[in-house]
Structure 1
Amino acid sequence: MQEISSSRRGAIIYLSVWLFIGCALGGVISLASDAPLANAMLFAIPMNLLYAFAAGYSAYYLCRAYPLGSRRAASIALVLTVAALVSGFLWLMAGRFWNGLCQLLGVAWSGIEFTPQLSALIVGLGILLYGFAAAVHYLVIEFVRAKNAEQRELESLLMAQEAELRMLRTQIDPHFLFNSLNSISALTSQDPKAARRMTLELASFFRQSLGMEAHKKVTLGEEMVLIRHFLAIEQVRFGERLLVEEAIEAEAAACLVPPMIIQPLVENAVKHGICSLPEGGTIRVTARRSGSMLHIRVDNPVDADGPSGGGDGHGIGLTNVRQRLSGAYKHEASIHWGLTNNSFGVDITMPAQAGEQRE
């Protein structure tokens, strides 16, 4: 009963059904006993609304006390049958009492003649309506139970997915930190100023990344600040061999993306592209918004004849990004990569979400 009456719409529908049954009962009484229609309705409608609450709550608590599957079907049927019989006879007694009150009014439009057929009709209808109420409550209880189970399963899935995304994000930091510390160690004796500059950039990088950890999404502009710190660290290592070009549209910069979703791509561009080319090259990061979609591309030159020329060695970073996109956007996001004219490119497409949707 609580599930039905918990919402205004459910309560209105429930009472409307019983009001319709009351009107139908009044019509049957009027036709069967030749009683005036007004008298029959005055008797039937209040009686039916009373039974709606009495039988409704009784059936609800019995359905809760004897849930389906908890006991044998025969035991549940016996309990409900006895309850329906008792309710039917109690409804008959209440009907006789209400009819007596109506007859005391002494006016032409109140009171009806109680016949044995009418008594049998009230008892039989009371039993049927009690069974109907019990069936409705069982359906509602099972529906609510299934809905709650589905919601718990969804919450568990979301928690597992969030834990997986957090694990994928934390895979980035140790690898990058290890490489950076090795570079700083090498530069300490060769170029102390460069080592100091690299240390400061590394501190800025991790300060920025820690600030982003509190959010599931950050703006692309914030992500690019992190990328610039990363590339500044790498430029200390590679010097003039590493050049960077950005083409980030203002609308794209305001869109939300998962934190550190581009950093693995840029790291791959340095590790498998610039690092393998004696003359170095240019890493290009472009982003544009097209309607409801955000398009991001990272390009870098590669040695087509080298071991990573065909894209080998990019697998871990690209798989990481693909899994994170799938976890965050399901089928709405995609990532594609390929080699064209000694240039390796990665394209990301994801829904363009506004900055006010940040979580």
Structure 2
Amino acid sequence: MQGPFSTRRGAGLYLLAWLLLAIVFAGLIVAASGAAWTDGLLFTVPVTLLYACATGFSSYYLCRAYPLNERSAISVLLVFAVAAVVASLAWTALCIGWNHACAAIAMSAPLQAAIFGLGVILYALCAVAHYLAFEFQRARAAERRELEAALTSQDAELRMLRTQIDPHFLFNSLNSISALTSIDPARARDMTLQLADFFRHSLGLEASRKVTLEAEAAMAMHFVAIEKVRFGARLNIEQALDAGALDCLLPPMILQPLIENAIKHGIAHLTGGGTIRIAARRAGSILKIVVENDIDNDPPAAASHGIGLANVRQRLAATYGNEASIHWTREAHQFRVALSLPFHTTERQACA
């Protein structure tokens, strides 16, 4: 069933509103004719509720047939004027017939005219209410489409940013394997196997789906294992992940670019190697991650951070907006990257 009776709650509220109108109508009848309240209610309640049903369906389907954005104002006004007059005439006739049957009040000509005018007004109000409901539904639909478009755009942006990571990382890894093949084939083979294992684990990670910090840290260690084949004892890693932070969800492959950046622009320039330190802790509703690495006190003039840090910043902005941030600082012998993002443990919290 459509119209005002499409749901039980809607039908109940609609009839309750008309019942209140019937009581007000009875009060006017009592004041105008001097009838008792019981007679006034006996007269108004049945005819008003019946008029409510007829008017509700009639105005609903006319509003559907004459939408404001597709019909001219003159045609809409003309159609509803005719419909209101016809409905009010029928209601006035019904009131007269019902009054003859129950002999509740004295039906004078002025009272009949007042009933007719009230019927026109009620029909018009009902039509306006339907148009407002339609406009509200259309606004809600437009808002929903806009939200879906924004989510689709965000998902596409996240996928694009994610696709920057794999080719960039693969390019650097293949260069390392190429360099090892001529000086240490065994290590080149080991690095190739480690690289295949890393990509096998990362294939199931979707750009828009989040993973726990524990799983993300495990993926980061796969990447470190690949690089340790090349750097050996020169590359050291330290982790300090609070147990309370391991369940937090975050975008996949968010740590790998930071570690790659630390190796390429930090450890690789140190003759004696260095250490990368990863720490994570929960601070209320915020997850704080810090990645630090040793650096050369006098780095090459052309040194840069490539796309890694910029990629992480863009992904955080696309996923969390202003709720997440990334900052990096450089000291005498250390480079430090600090991430701050909302602490969510379920996808529902992240979507909210």
What TM-score does the superposition give when structure 2 sets the normalisation length?
0.93
Work out whether residues 3 and 141 of structure 1, in 8 Å CA contact, stay in contact via their aligned partners in 2: no
Q: Which digits, 9 at most, give the CA deviation of each residue in 1:171-225, with x for residues without a partner?
A: 1001111221222233233222212221221112111111222861101111111
Q: Distance in 1 between matches of 2:149 and 2:301?
A: 40
Q: Find 2:167's aligned residue among 148, 167, 174.
A: 174
Q: Does 1:194 align with 2:199?
A: no
Q: Which amino acid aligns with 1:351?
A: P
Question: Which of 101, 123, 139 is the equivalent residue of 2:116?
Answer: 123
- The 8 Å contact of residues 219 and 253 in structure 1, kept in 2 or not, is answered as yes
Match of 2:158 in 1: 165
Instruction: Give the corresponding residue for 2:315.
Output: 324
Distance in 2 of aligned mates of 1:219 and 1:243: 24
Map of 2:44 onto structure 1: 44
Match of 2:288 in 1: 295
In structure 2, what is the Cα distance between the partners aligned to 1:112 and 1:84?
25
78-87 vs 62-71, greater mean Cα deviation:
62-71
Letter in 2 for 1:329: Y
Note the aligned Cα RMSD (angstroms): 2.1
Q: Percent of aligned positions with the same letter in both sequences? A: 55
Aligned to 1:22, the other structure's residue is in SS state helix
Q: Classify the secondary structure of the residue corresponding to 2:203.
A: helix
Query: 1:330–1:99: structure 2 CA closer, same or farther, 3 Å change rule?
Result: same
Change (3 A) 1:207 1:252: same
1:345 equivalenced with 2:336 (yes/no): yes
Structure 1 position 2, deviation (Å): 4.6
Amino acid in the other structure paired with 2:118: L
Match of 1:19 in 2: 19
Q: What does residue 241 of structure 2 align with? A: 248
Residue 107 of structure 1 is matched in structure 2 by none
> By how many angstroms is 1:162 displaced?
0.4
Q: C-alpha distance in 2, partners of 1:325/1:3?
A: 46
Classify the secondary structure of the residue corresponding to 1:45: helix
SS of 2:204's equivalent in the other structure is helix
Q: What's the offset of the Cα at 1:80? A: 0.9
Shift in Å, 1:257: 0.9
Deviations 1:263-313 (A, max 9, x none): 11111101111112222211111111122111101111222432469xx62
State the number of aligned residues.
350
SS of structure 2 residue aligned to 1:323: helix
Moved more, 79-88 or 190-199: 190-199
Q: Is the 8 A contact 2:281 2:289 kept in 1?
A: yes
- Asked if 1 retains the 8 angstrom alpha-carbon contact of 2:191 and 2:229, the reply is yes
Structure 2, unaligned stretches of length 5 or more? none
User: Would the alpha carbon gap of residues 304 and 61 (structure 1) be closer, same or farther in structure 2, given more than 3 Å must change?
Assistant: farther
C-alpha change, 1:12 and 1:117, in structure 2 (3 Å) is: same
In structure 2, relative to structure 1, the CA distance for the partners of 1:10 and 1:355 (3 Å cut) is closer
Whether 1:88 and 2:88 are equivalent positions in the alignment is yes
TM-score, normalisation: structure 1: 0.91
Give the CA deviation at 1:7: 5.1
Mapped partners of 1:252, 1:238: distance in 2: 30
Q: Does 1:156 align with 2:149?
A: yes
Find 2:228's aligned residue among 235, 239, 253.
235
Partners of 2:124 and 2:259 in 1: how far apart? 68
Q: Which amino acid counterpart does residue 125 of structure 1 have in structure 2?
A: L
Amino acid at match of 1:323: Q
Match of 1:97 in 2: 97
CA contact 1:254–1:355 (8 Å) conserved in 2: no
Instruction: Provide the C-alpha distance between the structure 2 equivalents of 1:189 and 1:307, rounded to a whole number of angstroms.
Output: 27
